[in-house]
Amino acid sequence: GAVVSQHPSRVICKSGTSVKIECRSLDFQATTMFWYRQFPKQSLMLMATSNEGSKATYEQGVEKDKFLINHASLTLSTLTVTSAHPEDSSFYICSATEQNNSPLHFGNGTRLTVT
């Protein structure tokens, strides 16, 4: 089955530093990947749609300069949290789909803690 790999699974960083999270589709090509954020006891909130070879599409209220997305190849999308602050501490998870009308395949997620 289709597998999405996400790294790192857990990261602790200091305020002001940047953190990069990688999302890879291991056995299929994904022209589009999705980045979600989850706060405790809340639903997965779509942050942005990552498009291979073009700019990401951000959801309303998501700062594109804070959350940089790069989708340089058909199997890799990265999310960089720039100048991280404690309020950026959250659970981030990516997903991709093989084709329209197919289910989403998720990475394992990244728990980010900013101290």
Partner 1 sequence: ILNVEQSPQSLHVQEGDSTNFTCSFPSSNFYALHWYRWETAKSPEALFVMTLNGDEKKKGRISATLNTKEGYSYLYIKGSQPEDSATYLCASPTTTDSWGKFQFGAGTQVVVTP
Can you give the binding site for partner 1, defined by CB under 8 A?
A: 4, 6, 32, 34, 36, 41-46, 49, 93, 95-97, 100-109
Minimal distance in Å, beta carbon 41 to partner 1?
7
Q: Is the dihedral of CA 80, 26, 8, 93 positive or negative?
A: positive
Residues β-bridged to residue 69: 79
* Nearest-angstrom CA–CA distance, 65 and 31: 22
Residue 11 or 82: which CB sits closer to partner 1?
Answer: 11
Q: Can you tell me the distance from the alpha carbon of 70 to that of 102, in angstroms, rounded to the nearest whole number?
A: 23
Nearer to partner 1, 84 or 93 (CB): 93
Q: In terms of CB distance, is 53 or 103 closer to partner 1?
A: 103
Min separation Cβ 111 and partner 1, Å: 11
Taking the least distance from each CB to partner 1, the nearer of 84 and 95 is 95
CB burial class (10 A; 0-12, 13-18, 19+) of residue 7?
Answer: middle
